[in-house]
Amino acid sequence: MDSRLAIRARGITKCFGDVVALDGVDLEVARGRIHGLAGPNGAGKTTLLGLLLGLAVADSGRLEILGAPVGRAFEVPGGVSGFVDGPGLYPSLTARQNLAALAALRGDATRSARIADALDQVGLTDVADDRTRGFSLGMRQRLGLAAALLTRPRLLVLDEPSNGLDPAGKKHVHGVLTRLADDGTGVVLSSHRMDDLEALCSEVTILAAGRVVFTGPLGELAAENRELDYRLVTSDPERAHRLALDAPGIRLTDDTAGRQGGGALVVRALVPALDDLVVRLVHAGIALRELAPVVSPLEAAFLALTEQPSAGGQEAGRHGAAGSRQEAGR
């Protein structure tokens, strides 16, 4: 038993009839860290979140949450909170009344000041006395997070908490999660939004077809042995194009010889080759105004590890094995 871990899972397997939702999953989440969970639709993310929240039990394997073994009962230790598939709310009650009702169901005589503080943390003070039937998706997500905060969780498990959030709402949610982690709470954040995972998570686990295909620090996914496409905007596109053609390890990636609208150049390279190209541009007196990956390192790794196409707008999870296994929102 490791007191530094909020979650320790070994060989977790879960089936629904003949459908294998989780197949020998290992997972470790440290206290005080935000751990991302990603994968195509049908990869097993919702099933795993359900196990962590006590909504389901594993068929085999060993699961410890907050240092306590989880058995074959539908329960988890105190101090665990969160939601899967969105929070459940009473539409006829106000935001404030929803939190009071949820606290009462848990036998918690939460003071009104604590409810007000939770609403303030997620940026819902101005609508605290509005009925939730009129709330947008993003507002409902924030209210679900406020409900989780009432328990003062030591482990917080969230499913797509940024769904429907505007920039202000996202800022509130990111701030809450960062503060919780700083205070020692372990956070598991499942999301299809790679920008959220990159902004918040120190580590990430990627699932495909019920199995872990990667788990570890985000930096390992951006390792220098993986080629990425980069967009460069310079002060002299034509000269930059000629330099890129002659630079070792640089490939132009499209039918227009790598040039996009607005004088941008798109190249494919390893990090060392890209660094060398930047040095060549500077030595040639060409100003570099923008340099960014076309697809983020996390998204590129996600697509490679889960065998997803990087173009065409196809929905994740349509390929072979992962497409044949159902997550089904359980």
Sorted by where each begins, the domain ranges of the chain are 5-218, 222-330
pLDDT value of position 293: 85
Residues 6+ apart with CB under 8 A from 78: none
Cα 116 to Cα 13, 112, 176: the distances in Å are 41, 6, 15
Mean pLDDT per block of 10 residues along the chain (330 residues) reads 83 94 95 94 93 92 92 79 85 93 74 87 93 92 90 91 85 90 94 89 93 89 72 92 93 59 81 93 94 83 70 36 36
* Residues 128-157: tens digit of each pLDDT: 999 999 999 989 999 999 998 888 899 999
Domain 222-330, CATH 3.30.70.250 — does that match?
yes
Question: Which tokens sit at 300?
Answer: 């590129």
Residues 6+ apart with CB under 8 A from 171: none
pLDDT value of position 78: 84
pLDDT value of position 14: 96
* Residues 38-94: tens digit of each pLDDT: 999 889 999 999 999 999 999 999 999 998 898 777 777 788 989 888 788 889 999
First to last CA, the chain: 28
Q: What is the DSSP letter of 277?
A: H
Phi then psi for 206, rounded to 5 degrees? Answer: -110, 125
- Map tokens 């995972």 to a residue: 197
pLDDT value of position 225: 62
Domain 5-218: which CATH class?
Answer: alpha beta
pLDDT value of position 34: 96
Q: Is 306 helix (H, G, I), strand (E, B) or coil?
A: coil
Within 10 A of 130 (CB to CB), how many other CB atoms are there? Answer: 14
Query: What's at 247, amino acid-wise?
Result: A
Alpha carbons 88 and 330: distance in angstroms, whole number: 15
